[in-house]
Amino acid sequence: MTRLPDVRRCQEWAEQMLSYALAAGADGAEVLVRDGSELEVKVRLGEPELVKDAGSRALGLRALRDHRVAVAYTSDFAPAAMRQFARESVDLCGLAEPDPLADLPERHEMAREIPDLDLWDETAPSFDAAQALGLAKQGEQAALQFDRRVTNSEGAVCCRVMGATAFASSAGFSGGYRGTSLSLVVAPVCDDADGKKRNGHYWTAARFTSGLLDPEAVGLEAARRTLAKLGSRKIATSQVPAVFAPEAARALLGQLAGVVSGGAVWRKSTYLAGREGTAVASSLVSVVDDPLTRRAPGSRPFDGEGLATRPNVVVSGGALRTFLCDVYSGRKLGCRSTGSAGRGVGGGPHVSTSNFILLPGRSPPAELERLPQGLYVTDLMGFGFNPVTGDWSQGANGFWIDNGSRAHPVSEITISINFDDLWKSIDGVGNDLDTRSSVQSPTLRVSRITVAGT
Amino acid sequence: MSRAFRSADSPAPNPLGGIDAALAERLLGEALAAGGEYADLYFEFRCAADFVLEEAQVRSVGRATVVGLGVRVLRGDATGYAYTEELSSARMSEAARTAGKIAAAGRILAPVALTSLPGHDIYPVSESSLLRPGPDKVALLRRADAAARGFDARIVRVEASLSEEWREIRIFTSDGRLAQDCQPMLRLGVHAVAEEDGRRQGGRSGTALRRGLELFALPGHAPEEHGREAARIAVDMLHAQEAPAGPMEVVLGPGESGILLHEAVGHGLEADFNRKRTSNYTDQIGQSVASSLCTVVDDATIGHARGSINLDDEGNPGQRNVLIENGVLRGYLQDRISARHFRTQVTGNGRRESFRCQPLPRMTNTMLLGGQDEPEDIIRSVRRGVYAKHFSGGQVNISNGDFVFSLTESYLIEDGKLTAPLRGVNLIGNGPEVLRQVTMVGHDFKLSEGTWTCGKDGQSVPVGVGTPTVKIARITVGGTRAP
């Protein structure tokens, strides 16, 4: 039932709803329409377990009347229903209180051009369930055949998403774009000597089918990573240097994205409030948010309020250069939007990163592991981060490093440090940037962290 | 029609009004046309609204209306799934046929004529809160906000939010069942930030139950109580000290600590992981998996509780299931596919986030039942340890049972007394090992009325947790203070 996402049709709906909202008495309004199609297949032990194939569309309206805001969501596109929805949403504004800072952006702020970021793969629509099942089967089979200690599988999942986004604002913008993305993940399971099971996974993702890794390569890497966990054990409570694999470092970087958001600053919900221009990380750390990278997972040609997007240097040489702002948080903080508004159909604009990248350094990752003793962290667990204070404590898995090499796998420990200290004590940045997702990091090394174990 | 379904209460024109048994039988027939063994239709209509008060101003009001149909077709252990938001005859047929493609061949079965099933009515609500005027809800938020600000001069910021939902589901199955339910949910949350000498701390409090606005008139549920509680935590934590690192005795306070059960055993007992032999509880029914002091139940039938369901999302009644009895594993949480595999009954745990998702075995309200010990004796028995009071959440690795959960309010126990408040810290352990370390269980069972949401395979569902005061003889505390 694959329907091609239609940008032009979405734009017509957005403009139509905009006119209904203005006719219903709104002083200003903005409308987001998303039309998407998802294909998800899962294979387990060689057999198809799930084939999900569906199209979905929805509309989000933000209406303003007398500087009062209402946000509404619907999936009903019948003309009569759209008109009624516009009327009811504008009426809802009466319940909010006037907030002039919440007005739409100024007309001159709006994007004039929509750059083509090469986000649409013409071959994606013909990528069907049979092909997806084929990739998943090959990936899983490669993992299962790699080693007889791979005894089970959580399965292999292959997805293809196609989507169109259109946005119209009475501040003077109407535009749209479309994009594709594909992914494959393989998750084998091994039996450990103590009766415990060890699971692991590896994945590939890309905007274009041609950008996906070979399914066998994904399966083999998934099997290697899972086997490496056999014999995992705790280590002693101690303070040691820690090396974060790109996947674990990405989780740290995602948490950093939350505390450099202008929204968190005026909400007093970040320990970085008031720290602009000062050192917030080691001089080895530079972070950019770049929405304009061609074919990248988090790229967007305009932001969630219709402003032009641009690369923003957030941290350079360890110094905080800017908070990322949408129009509202910019006004709250007395600065301009950085073009960093995200927007979903279910809510109003908010600060969101695009491709949030910690720039790679010069060190080969193996060099960062050359430690007398230390912890190599492959993945983190749990929610132990308090952005208000920077207190940070997470479950961790990885390897114990002894005399420069990985001695044995480690599980069931926590690592703790204040998040501010963590970034300031980075003493190594790898040259191995992982570009698979919209938050991208190379390997990072932290000089000292508290491990709680036995 | 089941008692739980009263369309007169619907807070908006009900777009499911025209969905009848004749239409459903036709769609089920189309879904099975390629040879599927079983099919079900899941119609959902959801109305929601939310109000946010920030800096004492109503910043925004929101609303949402969602309608859709999910079609599932099963053949063996394989699922075909499709959905549509457009309830036109053509789109619904298309969804039915797309889902049906999972069955490449096979004998074509006709759906059985539909019979409507009676249901429970464990969260009767006289009127959906969505039908009440908006200003009534704003007034509740103002009460919470004022109470938080008035609690202490060090409170510098308060955010209070209220969200409400009315969800109607109708399920039609090819084995002839027609079931429906209306599931209300009302949630209030307060977040307060305290500041002193450049130090900041946050605190949260909230509640979520399947009730109308009468919720806030119940004892202990006034909005002011949540405002004050959020403020109290923020202020108390201003002077919190670094938590210790390493294994030690931990006392779990009543209520919220049930999150430990949810992570440590609940997920591992979901039948899909056991059917696939990827859970650390695979093949252990009848075996001792916990201290004999532990009896763990998953109970969907607690009146008005957040995790309760009259009906699961496969059309089966929610029920009370004993998972672990005096330390012995009794059963798993089953959905249709898993129950068929284990040749056992469904347990009413097939849940889904929305019509866009296939059902999975999920928890409802998961609890450790009360024991014999005096809570004071439990604390008094600890020479040096940690008392856990409030949590932000947890996570588990199903395969090996390792879990973490994050404490947002905890205290050091020294010589049997609670002393210093501790900064945010994680506990980490292994499910079966930690449950064997349970050495005392209080008689003060409490169901948390907090805003718990459980995530699995990208699907979120509301759940409840509960526990009495519990002593764990040894678990790793993940603080920053080196031993």
pLDDT per residue over A331-349, tens digit each?
999 999 999 999 998 889 9
Put simply, the answer to whether A452 touches B404 (Cβ < 8 Å) is no
Q: How far apart are CA B359 and CA B38, in angstroms?
A: 14
CB pairs under 8 A between A and B: 258
Query: Which residue from A minimizes the CA distance to B50?
Result: A71
What tokens appear for A353 in the block? 């990163």
| Residue A307 DSSP one-character state | B
Polymer length of chain A: 454
Query: Which residue from B minimizes the CA distance to A130?
Result: B102
Q: Provide the pLDDT for residue B252.
A: 96
- Chain A within 8 Å of B193 (Cβ-Cβ)? yes
Phi and psi angles of residue B375, each rounded to the nearest 5 degrees, phi first: -55, -40
Put simply, the answer to whether A394 touches B77 (Cβ < 8 Å) is no
Tell me the chain B residues in contact with residue A92 when contact means C-beta distances shorter than 8 Å.
61, 63, 134
* Cα→Cα distances A7→A115, A161, A295, Å: 15, 15, 18
Residue B1 resides in a domain: no
Residues B294 and B359 in one domain: yes
- Chain A within 8 Å of B420 (Cβ-Cβ)? no
Q: How far apart are CA A419 and CA B106, in angstroms?
A: 58
Q: How far is CA B432 from the centre of its chain?
A: 22
Residue B86 resides in a domain: yes
Q: How far apart are CA A136 and CA A120, in angstroms?
A: 22
What tokens appear for B452 in the block? 């718990």
Q: Provide the pLDDT for residue B5.
A: 37
Residue B44 resides in a domain: yes
Residues B225 and B256 in one domain: no
What one-letter code names the amino acid at A146? Answer: F
Q: Please give the model's pTM, rounded to 2 decimal places.
A: 0.93
pLDDT digits (tens, 9 = 90+) for A435-445: 999 999 999 99
Q: Provide the pLDDT for residue A76.
A: 85
| Residue in A75, A389, A417 nearest the CB of B68 | A75
Q: Which residues between 69 and 128 in chain A have a beta carbon less than 8 angstroms from any beta carbon of chain B?
A: 69-77, 85, 88-89, 92-93, 95-97, 99, 102
| Residue in A50, A57, A452 nearest the CB of B81 | A50
Residues B187 and B253 in one domain: no
| Residue A284 DSSP one-character state | T
Please say whether the beta carbons of A373 and A343 come within 8 A.
no
Q: How far apart are CA A450 and CA B481, in angstroms?
A: 8
Q: Provide the pLDDT for residue B480.
A: 81
Half-sphere exposure of residue B31, counting CA atoms within 13 Å on the CB side? 34
What tokens appear for B273 in the block? 């992981």
Q: How far is CA B200 from the centre of its chain?
A: 30
The residue among B326, B342, A130 whose CA lies nearest residue B334 is B342
The residue among A81, A88, A57 whose CA lies nearest residue B63 is A88
Q: Which residues between 87 and 106 in chain B have a beta carbon less than 8 angstroms from any beta carbon of chain A?
A: 94-95, 97-98, 101-102
Chain-wide mean pLDDT for chain A?
Answer: 95
Tell me the chain A residues in contact with residue B59 when contact means C-beta distances shorter than 8 Å.
69, 96-97, 99, 102
* Cα→Cα distances B460→B359, B360, B363, B454, Å: 11, 11, 11, 5
Check: complex ipTM more than 0.85: yes
The residue among A404, A419, A83, A354 whose CA lies nearest residue A243 is A404
Tell me the chain B residues in contact with residue A54 when contact means C-beta distances shorter than 8 Å.
81-84, 95, 98, 356
Polymer length of chain B: 483
| Residue in B134, B247, B428 nearest the CB of A95 | B134
Residue A4, classed as helix, strand or coil, is coil
Residues B139 and B261 in one domain: no
Q: Provide the pLDDT for residue B76.
A: 86
Residue B292 resides in a domain: yes
Put simply, the answer to whether B426 touches A234 (Cβ < 8 Å) is no
Query: Which residue from B minimizes the CA distance to A235?
Result: B246
Tell me the chain B residues in contact with residue A346 when contact means C-beta distances shorter than 8 Å.
64
Q: Which residues between 350 and 389 in chain A have a beta carbon less than 8 angstroms from any beta carbon of chain B?
A: 381-384, 386, 388-389
Residues B280 and B228 in one domain: no
Q: Which residues between 275 and 294 in chain B have a beta carbon less than 8 angstroms from any beta carbon of chain A?
A: 276-280
Put simply, the answer to whether B81 touches A71 (Cβ < 8 Å) is no
Q: Which residues between 202 and 261 in chain B have a beta carbon less than 8 angstroms from any beta carbon of chain A?
A: 202, 243, 245-247
% of chain A at pLDDT higher than 90: 93
| Residue in B135, B157, B481 nearest the CB of A267 | B157
How far off is chain A from B78, nearest CA to CA, in Å?
A: 4
Tell me the chain A residues in contact with residue B405 when contact means C-beta distances shorter than 8 Å.
382
Residue B483 resides in a domain: no
Residue B228 resides in a domain: yes
Residues B419 and B368 in one domain: yes
How far off is chain A from B118, nearest CA to CA, in Å?
A: 31
Put simply, the answer to whether B102 touches A48 (Cβ < 8 Å) is yes
Tell me the chain B residues in contact with residue A201 when contact means C-beta distances shorter than 8 Å.
none
Instruction: State how beta strands A28-44 and B464-467 pair.
Output: unpaired
Residues B313 and B441 in one domain: yes
Contacts with B376 (C-beta within 8 Å, 6 or more apart), sequence order:
none
Q: How far apart are CA A93 and CA A87, in angstroms?
A: 10
Q: Provide the pLDDT for residue B12.
A: 66
* Cα→Cα distances B190→A240, B202, B229, B464, Å: 38, 10, 9, 19
Residues B209 and B355 in one domain: no
Query: Which residue from A minimizes the CA distance to B63?
Result: A72
Query: Which residue from A minimizes the CA distance to B96?
Result: A1
Residues B148 and B271 in one domain: no
- Chain B within 8 Å of A412 (Cβ-Cβ)? yes
Domain span holding position B72: 7-237
Which one of B204, B237, B270 terminates a domain? B237
More reliable by pLDDT, A222 or A1: A222
Strand blocks (E) in A290-333 = 312-316, 319-320
Residues B436 and B456 in one domain: yes
Residue B364 resides in a domain: yes
Rounded to a whole number, what is the distance in angstroms from the first to the last CA of chain B?
A: 63
For chain A, the helix, strand and coil percentages under 3-state DSSP, each to the nearest 5: 25, 40, 35
Q: Provide the pLDDT for residue B3.
A: 32
How far off is chain B from A237, nearest CA to CA, in Å?
A: 6
Phi and psi angles of residue B11, each rounded to the nearest 5 degrees, phi first: -80, 0
The domain that holds B173 is classified in CATH as 3.30.2290.10
Put simply, the answer to whether B159 touches A85 (Cβ < 8 Å) is no
| Residue in B195, B201, B424 nearest the CB of A384 | B424
Query: Which residue from B minimizes the CA distance to A62?
Result: B62
Tell me the chain A residues in contact with residue B81 when contact means C-beta distances shorter than 8 Å.
50-54
Q: How far apart are CA B76 and CA B346, in angstroms?
A: 16
Residue A228: CB atoms within 10 Å: 18
Please say whether the beta carbons of A10 and A176 come within 8 A.
yes
pLDDT higher than threshold 50 for residue A86:
yes
* Cα→Cα distances B371→B310, B433, B442, Å: 28, 20, 5
| Residue in B57, B95, B476 nearest the CB of A452 | B476
Query: Which residue from B minimizes the CA distance to A379?
Result: B397
Which one of B202, B237, B272 terminates a domain? B237
- Total of domains in chain B: 2
pLDDT digits (tens, 9 = 90+) for B3-59: 333 444 566 667 888 888 999 999 999 999 998 999 999 999 999 999 999 989 998
Which one of B217, B237, B257 terminates a domain? B237
Put simply, the answer to whether A54 touches B67 (Cβ < 8 Å) is no
Put simply, the answer to whether A393 touches B480 (Cβ < 8 Å) is yes
Pure H helices in A49-128:
79-92
What one-letter code names the amino acid at A97? Answer: E
Put simply, the answer to whether B404 touches A414 (Cβ < 8 Å) is yes
Tell me the chain B residues in contact with residue A71 when contact means C-beta distances shorter than 8 Å.
60-63
How far off is chain A from B391, nearest CA to CA, in Å?
A: 10
Q: How far is CA B227 from the centre of its chain?
A: 23
What one-letter code names the amino acid at B78? Answer: A
Residue B48 resides in a domain: yes
The residue among A184, A195, A190, A205 whose CA lies nearest residue A153 is A190
Tell me the chain B residues in contact with residue A251 when contact means C-beta distances shorter than 8 Å.
none
* Cα→Cα distances A38→A3, A42, A113, A271, B418, Å: 10, 13, 29, 39, 53
Q: Which residues between 170 and 199 in chain A have a beta carbon less than 8 angstroms from any beta carbon of chain B?
A: 189, 192, 196-199
Strand order from edge to edge, sheet including B320-325: B328-329, B320-325, B296-299, B365-368, B464-467, B446-447
For chain B of 483 residues, list the mean pLDDT of each consecutive stretch of 10. Answer: 40 78 94 93 94 91 93 93 92 94 72 78 89 93 97 97 95 94 96 93 94 93 96 95 93 94 91 92 94 97 96 96 97 96 96 96 97 97 95 84 90 96 90 93 95 92 97 92 68
The residue among B248, B158, B167 whose CA lies nearest residue B203 is B158
CA dihedral in degrees (A76, A80, A84, A90; nearest 10)? Answer: 90
Residues B214 and B230 in one domain: yes
What one-letter code names the amino acid at B34? Answer: A
Q: Which residues between 204 and 243 in chain A have a beta carbon less than 8 angstroms from any beta carbon of chain B?
A: 232, 234, 237-239
Q: Which residues between 141 and 170 in chain B have a beta carbon less than 8 angstroms from any beta carbon of chain A?
A: 156-157, 159
Q: What angle do CA A50, A56, A61 make, to 5 degrees?
A: 145
Pure H helices in A334-445:
365-368, 419-424
- Chain A within 8 Å of B15 (Cβ-Cβ)? yes
Chosen from A53, A229, A239, A394 to mutate, greatest number of chain B CBs within 10 A: A53
pLDDT digits (tens, 9 = 90+) for A285-301: 999 999 999 999 999 99
pLDDT band, very low/low/confident/very high, at A26 (cuts 50, 70, 90): very high
Residues facing B173 on adjacent strands: B40
Q: How far apart are CA B274 and CA B398, in angstroms?
A: 10
What tokens appear for A302 in the block? 């305009």
What tokens appear for B280 in the block? 């650390």
pLDDT digits (tens, 9 = 90+) for A183-210: 999 999 998 887 788 999 999 999 999 9
Q: Provide the pLDDT for residue B483.
A: 58
Residues B338 and B205 in one domain: no
Residue B256: CB atoms within 10 Å: 25
Secondary structure of chain B as H, E, C letters: CCCCCCHHHCCCCCCCCCCCHHHHHHHHHHHCCCCCCEEEEEEEEEEEEEEEEECCEEEEEEEEEEEEEEEEEEECCEEEEEEECCCCHHHHHHHHHHHHCCCCCCCCCCCCCCEECCCCCCCCCCCCHHHCCHHHHHHHHHHHHHHHHHHCCCEEEEEEEEEEEEEEEEEEECCCEEEEEEEEEEEEEEEEEEEECCEEEEEEEEEEECCCHHHHHCCCCCHHHHHHHHHHHHHHHCCCECCEEEEEEEEECCCHHHHHHHHHHHHHHEHHHHHCCCCCCCCCCCCECCCCCCCEEEECCCCCCCCCCCECCCCCECCEEEEEECCEECCCECCHHHHHHHCCCCCCCEECCCCCCCCEECCCEEEECCCCECHHHHHHCCCEEEEEEEEEEEEECCCCCEEEEEEEEEEEEECCEEEEEECCEEEEEEHHHHHHCEEEEECCCEECCCCCEEEECCEEEECEEEECCEEEEEEEEECCECC
Structural domains of chain A, with CATH = 7-226 (3.30.2290.10), 232-454 (no CATH)
Query: Which residue from B minimizes the CA distance to A194?
Result: B400
